[in-house]
A = this chain, B = another copy of it.
């Protein structure tokens, strides 16, 4: 059960960017099933920037924990940019974190909502920020989960770097 992975430079960079801005983060995970949380709690001193989060594997938990609107799920499905954004926004609101980072999609091996494995959406919410990134990943179930984790932190880093340099 060697779940623990090495801390990558990416995670350390994200942690340092958050800390430098006095910001915090919370996570809302579907297909990654806790992998974002494990990565963030692997970073030395990670508790300074990471508050915690939710693994909303069952659809009902997306609603009860994160306040994702039932109508939104009925209209767009859980494998959608709308759901990714609502999860990110929801976990940010519930935890009071500066940023919310969310994943939803199809890890496989089977389809979900008629969408093939690898169809993934990452949601990022922050002050004045609400974005979804669409990914089309390939690989085994495990590889898709791992690649989603990496892509989610890359997307977050891009947002944090953009915020670091005010344009105004």
Interface of A with B (CB < 8 Å)? Answer: 1-6, 8, 10-11, 27, 29, 33-42, 47, 50-58, 60-61, 64-65, 94-96, 142, 145-146, 149-150
Known: A4-B145, A27-B55, A55-B55. 7 other contacts (CB 8 A): A1-B6, A3-B39, A4-B5, A34-B35, A35-B38, A53-B55, A60-B95
Which of B3, B54, B64 is A55 in contact with, Cβ under 8 Å?
B54
Which of B27, B52, B95, B149 is A1 in contact with, Cβ under 8 Å?
B149
Q: Is the CB of B35 within 8 A of A55?
A: no
Q: Which residues of B contact A146 (CB under 8 A)?
A: 1-4
Q: Which residues of B contact A60 (CB under 8 A)?
A: 51, 95-96
Q: Is the CB of B55 within 8 A of A34?
A: yes
A67 to chain B, nearest CB (A): 12
In the complex, the count of this chain's copies comes to 2
Q: How far is A142 from B37 in the complex, measured between Cα atoms in Å?
A: 14
Which of B2, B11, B94 is A6 in contact with, Cβ under 8 Å?
B2
Which of B11, B35, B42, B54 is A54 in contact with, Cβ under 8 Å?
B54
Q: Which residues of B contact A38 (CB under 8 A)?
A: 3, 33-35, 38
Q: Is the CB of B4 within 8 A of A8?
A: no
Residue of B nearest to A5 (CB): B3
Q: Which residues of B contact A149 (CB under 8 A)?
A: 1, 3
Q: Is the CB of A58 within 8 A of B54?
A: no
Which of B1, B36, B65 is A34 in contact with, Cβ under 8 Å?
B36
Q: Is the CB of A51 within 8 A of B58?
A: yes
Q: How far is A60 from B53 in the complex, measured between Cα atoms in Å?
A: 12
A-B contact pairs, 5 of them (CB 8 A): A2-B5, A27-B55, A34-B35, A35-B38, A60-B96
